[in-house]
Structure 1
Amino acid sequence: MHEIPCPPAHFDPDRRLIRLHRRAGFHPAQTHSGRSLYFPAERVEPQPDRILGKQVESEWETVFSYPPLSALIHRALEDNYDLTAARETLAQAEEAVKAQQGSLMPQGAMNALAGRQKYGVALFGPSNFVIPPFSYYEVGPSLSWSPDFFGGGKRSVERQQALATYQHRQLDALYVELTANVVAQSVLIAAMKAEIGTVQRMVNADEKTLRLIQSSYRSGMATQADILDARNRLAVDSGLLPPLKQQYSSNLHTLSVLVGKAPADWQPPALVFDDLKIPASLPVALPSALLRKRPDILAAEASLQVASASLGVATANQYPALTLTANMFQEALTPSNLFLGAGNAWALAGGVSMPLFDGGMLEAAKQGAFHAYQASLAEYHQTVVQAFSQVADALTALANDADAVRAMKSVVDTGQSALDLSIKSRAAGNTSDLEIETAHRTLAQTQLKLEEALAQQYLDVTRLFVALGGSPLSQNPH
C-alpha cells in the first residue's frame, strides 16, 4: 500500500490535474469561478457558412425564430414534472450544505432530567451504611464543540457543496435535454404533418392516374397490365400513410408528457413545417467555451471535487479528534428546591480520541478514497473526449445535411419546372392528362424527400446545440 503525500485539509486535485492533463496534451484555462479546466491543445479551423467563437444562442427560439415553438418550451419549463423534481433535489442538496456547515459550530442544548434511584451497599465498601431510595431533578444548558484542527469537517462541507454543485449541473443538463426534446418532438410533429399531406397528394395523383388508365383501357388505349401497375402504385403510396400517422400520434403524445399533460387533456399549438427556419450561419463555440458550458463536463468536475473532498475526510479520520464540553445545571431532591443556590453545579471537560489500532480500516478507507478520486479523474477525461466527439459528429451531420437539402431542393425545382412545362404542353395539345398526373406524383415524391432531409437537418441542429451545452439554467431566468 502506498502513501498519499498530501495533508488532509490541503489536498489540491488541481496539482494532479495539471500533471496528468499536460501529459495527455491538455492545457489549462480558467473558469468563471477561478478554478482550472483542461482542454485539448488544438484549435478549430474556420469553415465556410459558420461563425466560430460566437456563443451559442441562449434560447432555442432564437435559433428557429418560431413563436409556437417558444411557447411550447416555456410551457415545458413551467410544468414538466422531471424538472420540478430536479429543482427540489437541488434544494435538498443546498439544505444539506447548510446542515453540514452547522456541524462545525458549537452545539448547545437545554437538558432536564427527573429520576428515582437507590444505591446498593457495595457503594460504600464494608459498612452497614444504607441510603434510602430518593428522587432527583436536574435542569440546565450544555455546550459541546469539536475543533476542526485537521480539516476533516471543512472537507466534509466541501464535499457537500460539491454534491450540491453536481445536482445543479444535473438540473442544467435536464433543462438542456428537456428543451432539446421539445424542439425535436415539435420538428417531428410538423414534419410528419407535412409528409402526410405530401403522401396524400401522391395518393390523390395515383387515384386520378388509375381512373385515367381505366378509361384508356375501355377505349383500347391501355392494357390490363397498365391497370395493375397503377393499382400497385396506389397501394404502395397508400401504405405510406399509416406509419406516418402513427408516428405523428406518438410524437404528439411524447410532447404532451414533456409539457406535463396527459395526451387526452392537451392539444399543441399548430405547428407548420414550412414556418421553421434556421440561421444561414450556425454559431459554434470554441473548445474552451464549450468545456465551460456543457453541464455534463461541469458535473464531472463537481464529481471530481466530491472525490477529492472525500479523500481529505478519509485522511483526517486518521488524526486525533478533540472534543470540548461544558455543562451547567441546577439539581435538587425536590422540585421546589431546584433553583436554590446550593443546587448549582457545573462541569468543563476536554477529550482527545486518537486511533491506535483499527485493523487497517482507516488506511484502507483512505486508499479506497484515493482510487475513487482516480476513477473520477478518468471519468472527467472521458466526458471531455466524448464532448468533442459529439460536436464533431453534429458538425459532420450538418455538413452532410446541407448537401442533401441543397441536392433535394434542386431536384424539386427541376420537378416543378417539368410540371409547369407539361401543363403548358397540355394546353397546346401535346401532353396527356396521364402525363400531367405522373409529373404531379413525381414532384410529390421529391418534395417528400426534401421534407425528410429538412427534418433531419433541423434535428441535427438540435443535436449540435445539445453538444455545445444548450442553454443551462444558470444562464436562463427559467
Structure 2
Amino acid sequence: MNLGQPSRRADRPKRALLGALALASMLAAAGCSVGPDFMSPDPHLPQASFFGPPSSATETGLPPGGPTRSNFAQVDPRWWDKFNDRALSTLADKAARVNLDVRTASIRLAESRFQRGVTASALFPTINASPSYQREQYSENGVLSLASGFTGQPIHVPPVSVYQVGFDASWEIDLWGHVRRQVEAAEAEVESSEYQRRDALVATLAEVARDYVELRGVQTQIAIANANLASSNDILQLTRTRAEKGLTTGLDVENAAAQVESVRAQLPSLENQESAYINALSLLLDEPPGSLKAELAKAKPIPPTPPRAPVGLPSELARRRPDIRRAEAELHAATANIGVAVADFYPSVKFNGSAGFNALDLKNLWKGSSLQYQLGPSITLPIFEGGRLKSTLDLGEAQQQEAYIAYHKTVLQAWHEVVNALVAYRTEQERRARLKAQVEHSRQALSLSRSRYNNGVGDFLNVLDAQRTVLQAELQHAQSATAVSTDFVQLYKALGGGWELAFPAEDAASVASAAQ
C-alpha cells in the first residue's frame, strides 16, 4: 500500500497543534504559583549551651561536672565505635542492613518517590491512541425502513467495514501553580519519608547498643553471683568444720547454708535476662530466637564509655535530628497544600484535541481526505461550589498551623531529651564512683569479720551480713556501670547521631532493591 506524501490539507491540524502547544508553553512559563512560599522555621535553639545561653564568655551555662565547651566538637556518626567493642560494631553494621523496621521505612521511601512521579505527571499532556476496526450491518427494519416508505422500494445496505486510527490529547495549563504546588508537597513528603527512614535507623542502632550493653551487664552480674556463691560455699565449709570441732553450733551452719541458697536463687533470673537480651538482638538483626547464642553467650566486660563525649553545637541539633527534619518536611508539605487550595479559586485552562483517519476502505485510510480532527481550548471557572473551596483552604491553613506546632514540639522535646541525657550521664557516673568505693569498703569489712570469726572473737551473723553487703554492693556497681553505658547510648540517640555516614542518600530504585 502506497501511503504517498501527506497533503497540504493534512498539514493544517499539525500546524494548528504545534501552534497550540507553543501558546500553551508560553502560558505555562508565564504562570505563577499562588499561595505562601515555604521558609524554614527558626528552631530557637541555644547557640553555645544546651542548658541555656551563657551570660558571659567565661560562663558555660552547664551544671557542675557537666560537659564543657570542648565537648562541642562534631558528633561522631559512628558513635558506637567509641565503645571499642568489635562485636557491638559488627552487630550495629549488620542491623543497618537487615533490620526489618529500617527495610520497611526504605520501602515507604520508595513509595513516596513513586507517588511524587504520579503527581508530577500532571505537568505534561496526556496522549492516547485509539485504533479501531468495526464491521457493521444496518437493519432494514430500523431507520432504513423510514426511507423505504418514501421510495416504495426496500432499501438494502450491505455490511460495511469502518477503519479508524486516531489520537486524542489533553493538557491542563498550570497557570496558577496548582500542579507545581502539588509536586512541591509530594517532594516534601519524599523528604519526610527519607527522614523517617533515618529516624528508624537511629532508633535501631541505639536499641542494638542498649541491648548489647544490658546483655554484658547481666553477664557481669552472673559472674558476680557465681563468685559470691563460691565464697558462700567456702564459708559454709568452714562453718561445718568448726561445728564438727565443737567451736560453733548448728545454727551457724544452717545460716551459712541459707546464705548459699539465697545467692544461688538469683542466678535463674539473671540467666533468663541474658537469654531475653540475646533474643532481642536476634530480632533486631532479623534472626530467629537463639541464633546469636553461640556468638554472644561467652561473657565479656561491660563496654566502657570514652572519657569525652562530644555533643556538637546545640544550634546544629535541628539539622542533625532526623525527626526534627521530618517535622520540617511535614510543615513544608502543609504549606504547599495551601497553594493547591488557593489555585482552585482561579480558572483552569485546558487544551483538548483529537485527530485521526476514518475510512470504509483500508486503502483509503491514510489519505488526506480521510483526516478528521478537533482542536480547541476550554476554560473552567468555579462559580458556586457550596463553600467547598473556602473550607478546603481553611482546612489547609489549619493543617499548616498544626504542622508548625508539631515541629515546635519536636524541637523542644529533642532539646529536653538531650539535657536529660546529659544530666543522667553525669549523675550516673558520680553514682558509679560512690558504689565502687562502697564495694571496696564492703570487701574490707567482710575480710575483717571473717578474720574475727576465725579467731573466735566475732559473731557469725556479722560475717553473713558483711557477705550480703558485698554481694549487693557489687551487683549495684555492675548495674550502675551498665547504666552509664546505656545513658551514653541514650545521649547519642538524643543527639541524632548514627545516620550521617551509615545511611547515605539513595535513589528510589536502589532503596527498593535494598529493601527486598
Pairwise TM-score range, normalised by the shorter structure? 0.7 to 0.9
Aligned to 1:89: 108
Aligned to 1:147: 173
Q: What is the distance in 1 between the residues matched to 2:195 and 2:504?
A: 15
Q: How does 1:207-246 map to 2 (within 5 A)?
A: 207-246=233-272
Aligned to 2:12: none
Whether 1:11 aligns to 2:54 is no
Aligned to 1:77: 96
The aligned amino acid for 1:149 is: L
Higher mean C-alpha displacement, 149-158 vs 436-445: 436-445
Q: What is the distance in 2 between the residues matched to 1:276 and 1:216?
A: 43
Pick aligned residue for 1:289 from 316, 323, 348:
316
Which ranges of structure 2 fall in alignment gaps of 5 or more residues? 1-31, 55-59, 506-516
8 A Cα contact 1:53 1:286, kept in partner = yes
Q: Which has the higher strand share?
A: 1
Aligned to 1:4: none
Q: How does 1:419-434 map to 2 (within 5 A)?
A: none
**1:438 and 1:214, CA in 2 relative to 1: closer, same or farther beyond 3 A?**
farther
Pick aligned residue for 2:61 from 45, 65, 80:
45
Q: How does 1:115-194 map to 2 (within 5 A)?
A: 115=134, 134-194=160-220
1:321 Cα deviation (Å)?
A: 1.3
Whether 1:334 aligns to 2:334 is no
The aligned amino acid for 2:39 is: D
Aligned to 2:121: 102
Q: What is the distance in 2 between the residues matched to 1:290 and 1:300?
A: 13
Q: What is the distance in 2 between the residues matched to 1:103 and 1:69?
A: 49
Which of these two proteins has the greater Rg computed from alpha carbons? 2
TM-score (ref. length: structure 2):
0.78
The aligned amino acid for 2:61 is: E
8 A Cα contact 2:216 2:302, kept in partner = no
8 A Cα contact 2:38 2:335, kept in partner = yes
Q: Deviations over 1:435-457 (max 9, x none)?
A: 99987765444322211100011
1:139 Cα deviation (Å)?
A: 0.9
The aligned amino acid for 2:378 is: G
Q: What is the distance in 1 between the residues matched to 2:269 and 2:447?
A: 32
Give percent identity, aligned residues only: 27
8 A Cα contact 2:51 2:419, kept in partner = no
The aligned amino acid for 2:252 is: D
8 A Cα contact 1:328 1:345, kept in partner = yes
Q: What is the distance in 2 between the residues matched to 1:131 and 1:27?
A: 89
Higher mean C-alpha displacement, 331-340 vs 312-321: 331-340
1:260 Cα deviation (Å)?
A: 1.1
1:422 Cα deviation (Å)?
A: 8.4
Higher mean C-alpha displacement, 137-146 vs 397-406: 137-146
Q: What is the distance in 1 between the residues matched to 2:232 and 2:51?
A: 57
The aligned amino acid for 2:332 is: Q
**1:402 and 1:121, CA in 2 relative to 1: closer, same or farther beyond 3 A?**
same
1:293 Cα deviation (Å)?
A: 0.7
Aligned to 2:73: 54
Aligned to 2:15: none
The aligned amino acid for 1:184 is: R
Whether 1:379 aligns to 2:395 is no
The aligned amino acid for 1:354 is: L
The aligned amino acid for 2:406 is: E
Q: Deviations over 1:290-309 (max 9, x none)?
A: 11111111111111111111
Aligned to 2:279: 253
TM-score (ref. length: structure 1):
0.84
**1:28 and 1:421, CA in 2 relative to 1: closer, same or farther beyond 3 A?**
closer
Aligned to 1:32: none
**1:237 and 1:267, CA in 2 relative to 1: closer, same or farther beyond 3 A?**
closer
8 A Cα contact 2:133 2:162, kept in partner = yes
Higher mean C-alpha displacement, 135-144 vs 199-208: 135-144
1:408 Cα deviation (Å)?
A: 1.6
Q: Deviations over 1:345-379 (max 9, x none)?
A: 22211011111111111211111111111111111
8 A Cα contact 2:53 2:61, kept in partner = no
Aligned to 2:510: none
Whether 1:67 aligns to 2:81 is no
Q: What is the distance in 1 between the residues matched to 2:73 and 2:61?
A: 14
8 A Cα contact 2:35 2:342, kept in partner = no
8 A Cα contact 1:322 1:351, kept in partner = yes
1:131 Cα deviation (Å)?
A: 10
Q: How does 1:444-455 map to 2 (within 5 A)?
A: 444-455=471-482
8 A Cα contact 2:259 2:464, kept in partner = no
Task: Name the SS of the counterpart of 1:351 in structure 2.
Answer: strand
**1:358 and 1:326, CA in 2 relative to 1: closer, same or farther beyond 3 A?**
same
Aligned length: 452
Backbone CA RMSD of aligned residues: 3.4
Task: Name the SS of the counterpart of 1:283 in structure 2.
Answer: coil
8 A Cα contact 2:74 2:310, kept in partner = yes
